[in-house]
Structure 1
Amino acid sequence: MKTILFLLLVVPVFGYAQKAEKKEVRRVIDQLFEGMRKGDSSMVRKTFFPNATLNTSFVNKKGEAKFHCDSIHSFLNAIGKPHEEVWDERLLSCEIKIDDNLATVWTKYAFYVDNVYSHEGVNAFQLVKTDGSWKILIITDTRRKNNSKIK
């Protein structure tokens, strides 16, 4: 009887805590993309762990699989460099998994420049929780020019 009572009290609290953590992780992801839309590199910088990396897996025009790794610094410079067009990455889905201070987020996206379709793919984020807040450690994405694979 004590075991059942314990489970009835603890499981809902755990479920609530997990939902709260997922909301916080999602808030970080949303802040990243809002900062991109605004061209606000300071807003975007706050979402990243120092020395975070950005990776892209793609197929070039010759049909060869390629991989590119970049630092967060060049990404922030590109966002902060004055540009009139709006960079709008629209999330089509979002799956969040959390264990302790590690979160993995899988999102399908379509990227637009001033409401004009540019490309699409999937983002795979890894976030870590340090000093009470979630930060993006790694983003690896895929990129395609056609919109036939993302639904």
Structure 2
Amino acid sequence: MKIVLLLLITLAFCPAIAQTSSTDEAAVRASVNQLFEGMKKADSTMIKLIFTPGARLQTVVNKQGEVSVQDDAIGKFISSVGKAKPGALDERLSGMDIKIDGELATAWTPYSFYYNGQQSHCGVNAFTLVKMAGIWKIQNIIDTRRKQGCP
């Protein structure tokens, strides 16, 4: 009898858990999309709001088989977005795979990047987001960039 009661209680709370998860997933997706919308609009204020104070931007670099990780300052990135012409920076995602545990989320986003309408490169972004004061903020972005094999 206790097992049946426990099972019924568990099933009663599953929809609430699923709803929270889908709500968080939509909010993570919105934060990631806000970055790319802000880039396309050249709106540095819009993208500054979605980063944590200690956010990091990194790129995996492979030069003739020598792999390293390049760090770029978030402030410099935000400033460069603000100096671009609206429409010049166009990062197009071909998908978004989101994983969430509590206040931690990841988003895996394959992309093609266009500068002034011309494809520049493609790769994958791996985002780490943290839910702070109820808002999903980007803590880290690490990406790959390649010129060959782009869709």
What TM-score, normalized by structure 2, do the two folds share? 0.91
Q: 1:48 to 1:112 in 2, by over 3 A?
A: same
**Aligned letter for 1:71?**
A
Deviation at 1:9, TM superposition (A): 1.0
State the alpha-carbon separation in 2 of the partners of residues 8 and 14 from structure 1. Answer: 10
User: Which blocks of at least 5 consecutive residues in structure 1 are unaligned?
Assistant: none
Conserved 8 A contact 2:41-2:86:
no
Residue matched to 2:5: 2
State the alpha-carbon separation in 2 of the partners of residues 84 and 107 from structure 1. Answer: 22
Conserved 8 A contact 1:35-1:41:
yes
| Structure 1 runs, 4 residues or longer, greater than 6 Å off | none
What TM-score, normalized by structure 1, do the two folds share? 0.91
Q: Give the alignment's Cα RMSD to 1 decimal.
A: 1.5
Residue matched to 2:45: 42
Q: Among residues 25, 28, 32, which one is paired with 2:31 in the alignment?
A: 28
Q: Among residues 80, 83, 99, which one is paired with 1:81 in the alignment?
A: 83
User: Which blocks of at least 5 consecutive residues in structure 2 are unaligned?
Assistant: none
Q: % of aligned pairs identical?
A: 43
Deviation at 1:122, TM superposition (A): 0.7
Q: Residue 30 of structure 2 aligns to a residue in which SS? A: helix
Residue matched to 2:110: 108
